[in-house]
Structure 1
Amino acid sequence: MKKILLASVIALATASAAIAPTKAATVVVKTNDHMHIKKHCRTKVVTTWKHHHRVVEKVRVCN
């Protein structure tokens, strides 16, 4: 009887340990702040030729 009770307690603890991280991951993904989306911008160097002269421009590219 003690072995069956111990086995069921261990099984319950194992199952709850496996379920807890999946619930925590869904809570982390959810956000209520949709208005403040951060833009990821970088500066890109573009080289073009105009009238036989090389023109180097720095262009800001955002997602």
Structure 2
Amino acid sequence: MKNILLASVIALATASAAIAPTQAATVVIKTNDHMHMKKHCRTRVVTHWAHHRRVVEKIRVCN
């Protein structure tokens, strides 16, 4: 009886330890006014042709 109880307690602890990291995937940053998600921006270089000339533009892309 003690072995079954001990095994069930160990199994419960192992299952809760495996579930906890999957629930902690979302991070919300709170400010004084509202809740905001942090934006990740990067600069992207786009090359295209216009009027027989190559044009290089730097565009800011945020998700």
TM-score normalised by L of structure 1: 0.56
Question: Please, what is the CA RMSD of the aligned residues?
Answer: 2.4
Q: Deviations over 1:5-62 (max 9, x none)?
A: 223222222223212432x333x24646332x22222222222223322211111111
Partner of 2:12: 15
Is the radius of gyration larger for structure 1 or structure 2? 1
> Does residue 6 of structure 1 match 2:3?
yes
Structure ranking higher in helix proportion: 1
Aligned residue in 2 for 1:54: 54
Report the TM-score, using the length of structure 2 for normalisation. 0.56
Structure 1: tracts of 5 or more residues without a match: none
Q: Which runs of 5+ in 2 are unaligned?
A: none
Instruction: Give 1 or 2: higher strand fraction.
Output: 2
- In the alignment of these two chains, the number of paired residues is 57
1:29-40 pair list within 5 angstroms: 29=25, 31=28, 33=30, 34-35=35-36, 37-40=37-40
- Cα 1:29–1:51, aligned 2, differ >3 Å: closer, same or farther? closer
